[in-house]
Structure 1
């Protein structure tokens, strides 16, 4: 049974489907990738990063937070004050995280895709989800990124990186098929011009409202997702039977020549109001 924030997803074929990876033959074609972004709103790039580099950063993260009692299997008592200190004062602004997000393979890809020098937003988000946690607020609710990036270009691209294997039960990102098309229409009509907020935690209800399908996949270490600022996405609850923590990061690149949202040029904190 698939859930998100405690809501049970409808697994009928007209409400649930699979994400389509970019074929190897299209990965070196800028035109093909932009056609996919225009059509699908996302790019699923298998084995984009070196799995060894991903694994090394995952080990660093959990080793650093072991001091606060955080374990990769989610067991034990966690000192939340110590965890927050290490996460927001050491890991998030630290050189290890920044270097991971600025790997040449990432920077070179976005420079090539966007046809310009690129800017990485300093507000980079890293999340861990404990197995078994559920209910409102535990998983990322349905939203699209432009809701939170109003003060810059709308041509920001998000890179979501699962930091380690993330099979469906571990709670990876899922995408509402074709949602970027109706979001673009609503944006043009001014329907969604409102303060930053998630759309809803009720993923099955949102799919019904738009007669759409949630798309998902098993992610392996090294896989990444690129999506547009208008693509609706969310996360599943972590119900992994192996009791492994889900860890991921989402970062954002854009052309240096486009307007930048100044609010996103500070280190991420979960109480920063964004």
Structure 2
């Protein structure tokens, strides 16, 4: 019987110097220079509501600590990796609760990004699909701490969580989410929405979590306005697609953060006087990042030294009664065109 492996070091026990970040990179390209990266600002859960709303308005995101109980989040992580355990994704002798990737496995075989980047094996695809309807996951989406926070933060009379949530894992050295802003994929609804990015388990800065281009909502809005001008002759279907001829093959703006940054600096989008860094964080189970539809972001390549698989879900909330993107009101399925 294999010896039980020690649990990985929790994110909150890792210590970095105040200005020191580990080396970060995107799916492709070199690691970012230290002068082009920074830490996301953390917002304690007991921060006054007006301060939270002010930060969100000014910065395009809030990184809120301890929205949900840590153990509840780890219960969800354990259930997910128990569900996927028959695929061989986990390192032998480790707990599904830790979610440690199996040594020597091909990352592409266990890609959980979705869309067109699915594992070829149908059984693995079915596991990814059915994970979205597990009873514990559906209950997790309705977690009272999360839903009460959102209700109090947005101050809508009623919110609507769209059915197409993005429950995704990102194995070490695998392909993950490229650089984008969320409106690219939800163009059919005129109303703005709130995204909640929920890490399901601890995720260090270099462990495959999200990084955000600092104060970049103006860039996203300019890009979307430029797209709309160039899409005037498109069919209605082409105009709302995130995969049209003006986008990369998978709807992303880029998979190389350095090339993208250089393109932005040399392009016509956003305020050129702003100094913009890429911001990352040490995410702990229970934390949630909320961001607007135009803030530029993408995943850090997972180079977690403990071999942890990054698990997260993306949730989008509209105000009830507004013009939401109805295409997203069905549960995700492979190759659904979105």
Q: Same fold (TM over 0.5)?
A: yes
Q: Which runs of 4+ in 1 moved over 3 A?
A: 76-80, 185-195
TM-score, normalising length: structure 2:
0.74
Q: Quote how far apart the aligned CAs of 1:110 are.
A: 1.8
Larger Rg: 2
Match of 1:179?
216
Q: Quote how far apart the aligned CAs of 1:81 are.
A: 2.1
The structure that is strand-richer by fraction is 1
Query: Cα 1:154–1:202, aligned 2, differ >3 Å: closer, same or farther?
Result: farther
Give the alignment of 1:256-267 within 5 angstroms. 256-267=320-331
Distance in 1, matches of 2:140 and 2:288, equals 13
Q: Quote how far apart the aligned CAs of 1:155 are.
A: 1.8
Match of 1:10?
32
| Number of residue pairs aligned between Structure 1 and Structure 2 | 266
Match of 1:70?
89
Stretch moving more, 70-79 or 114-123: 70-79
Runs of 5+ in structure 1 lacking a partner? none
How well do the aligned residues superpose, as a CA RMSD in angstroms? 2.0
Cα pair 2:214 2:279 within 8 Å, conserved? yes
TM-score, normalising length: structure 1:
0.90
SS at match of 2:212: strand
Distance in 2, matches of 1:154 and 1:229, equals 10
Runs of 5+ in structure 2 lacking a partner? 1-22, 91-98, 111-120, 232-238, 243-250, 266-274
Residue 200 of structure 2 corresponds to residue 163 of structure 1: yes
- Find the partner of 1:224 among 281, 288, 303: 288
- Find the partner of 1:204 among 244, 258, 266: 258
Match of 1:98?
138
Give the alignment of 1:105-184 within 5 angstroms. 105-115=145-155, 116-133=157-174, 138-184=175-221
Distance in 2, matches of 1:232 and 1:127, equals 19
Give the alignment of 1:48-67 within 5 angstroms. 48-67=67-86
Distance in 2, matches of 1:155 and 1:216, equals 24
SS at match of 1:96: helix
Cα pair 2:201 2:311 within 8 Å, conserved? yes
